[in-house]
């Protein structure tokens, strides 16, 4: 097969110094004939741990139609050597284009690269090994005390097996729509549709109405995290729980 590769300057070993995060190096391999494995080494200017999100969008090379995507979340530190991979298996024979896009932990796009005209011959399967659906079967929330929201949820999977999922949430100002911060994501083990109930809490530092975006990714194996489900909670008013005390007193 013939392969044409292009990049915006971040791939193939050249870092983009204008970005906070970039693809220092990347490559790919086709093995078996219906599966592409894309590998990459992301770096950051920060001498600290940074969370990044990498989507790989898949397109039909002949028509340009969007077909599918894969997703993974990674933690990187400065220019340390890392090598992460994502794979995708074709459902049918054809030539495909792949666009890998990196976002920082605030979901700002940082870098991307394209892989063009990769021919994959399919056996009729597709999508990837151990790629099961996961979803939020039920969710709810409570405000107690007045400055704290606790979000609860029951994630399920169609797999009759143990699956690792990670749930995170983003906080937004309800009036302006401005992003405030990401909550600390938590990993959980779930099994089939067994009942589970997990909770995460966030405390406001000032009075206001807030929106919460909650999303789940699942590990499809080899630390290959893929987006599965999401929900929003809108217009939750939280009032900061101020401390009060007796500054002085007089006894008569």
pLDDT digits (tens, 9 = 90+) for 209-228: 999 999 999 987 767 788 99
Mean pLDDT, residues 62-76: 92
Alpha carbon distances (Å) from 91 to 59, 227, 247: 13, 20, 72
Mean pLDDT, residues 65-88: 90
Q: Whole-prediction pTM value?
A: 0.47
Q: Which long-range contacts (CB under 8 A, 24 or more apart) does 76-81 make?
A: 76/21, 76/42, 76/43, 76/44, 76/49, 76/50, 76/52, 77/44, 77/46, 77/47, 77/48, 77/49, 77/50, 78/43, 78/44, 78/45, 78/46, 78/47, 78/48, 79/24, 79/43, 79/44, 80/43, 81/41
At 187, is the pLDDT very low, low, confident or very high (cuts 50, 70, 90)? Answer: very high
At 145, is the pLDDT very low, low, confident or very high (cuts 50, 70, 90)? Answer: very high
Domains detected in the chain: 4-120 (2.60.40.10), 134-238 (2.60.40.10)
- Rounded to whole angstroms, the Cα distance separating 105 from 39 reads 20
* Whether residue 19 has pLDDT greater than 70: no
- Beta-ladder partners of 186: 167
Those residues whose C-beta lies under 8 Å from the C-beta of residue 238, and which sit 6 or more positions away, are: 143, 146, 147, 148, 149, 203, 204, 207, 208, 209, 210
pLDDT tens-place string over residues 121-136: 865 444 444 467 899 9
- Rounded to whole angstroms, the Cα distance separating 16 from 18 reads 5
pLDDT computed for residue 251 by the predictor: 66
pLDDT tens-place string over residues 84-123: 999 998 888 889 999 999 998 889 999 999 999 999 986 5
């Amino acid at each position: 097969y013939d392969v044409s590769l292009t990049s915006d300057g971040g791939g193939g070993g050249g870092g983009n110094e204008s970005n906070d995060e970039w693809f220092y190096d990347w490559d790919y391999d086709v093995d078996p004939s219906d599966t592409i494995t894309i590998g990459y080494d992301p770096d950051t200017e920060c001498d600290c741990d940074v969370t990044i999100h990498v989507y790989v969008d898949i397109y039909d090379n002949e028509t340009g139609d969007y077909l599918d995507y894969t997703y993974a979340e990674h933690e990187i530190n400065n220019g340390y050597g890392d090598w992460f991979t994502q794979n995708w298996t074709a459902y049918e024979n054809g030539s495909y284009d792949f666009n890998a896009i990196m976002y920082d932990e605030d979901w700002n796009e940082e870098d991307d690269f394209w892989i063009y005209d990769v021919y994959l011959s399919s056996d009729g399967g597709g999508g990837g090994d151990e790629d099961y659906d996961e979803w939020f079967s039920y969710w709810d929330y409570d405000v107690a005390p007045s400055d704290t929201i606790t979000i609860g949820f029951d994630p399920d999977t169609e797999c009759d097996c143990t699956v690792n999922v990670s749930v995170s949430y983003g906080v937004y100002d309800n009036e302006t729509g401005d992003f405030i911060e990401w909550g600390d994501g938590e990993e959980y083990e779930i099994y089939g549709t067994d009942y589970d109930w997990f909770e995460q809490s966030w405390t406001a530092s000032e009075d206001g109405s807030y929106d919460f975006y909650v999303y789940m990714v699942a590990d499809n194996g080899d630390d290959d995290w893929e987006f599965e489900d999401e929900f929003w909670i809108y217009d939750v008013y939280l009032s900061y729980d101020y401390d009060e005390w007796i500054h002085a007193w007089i006894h008569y």
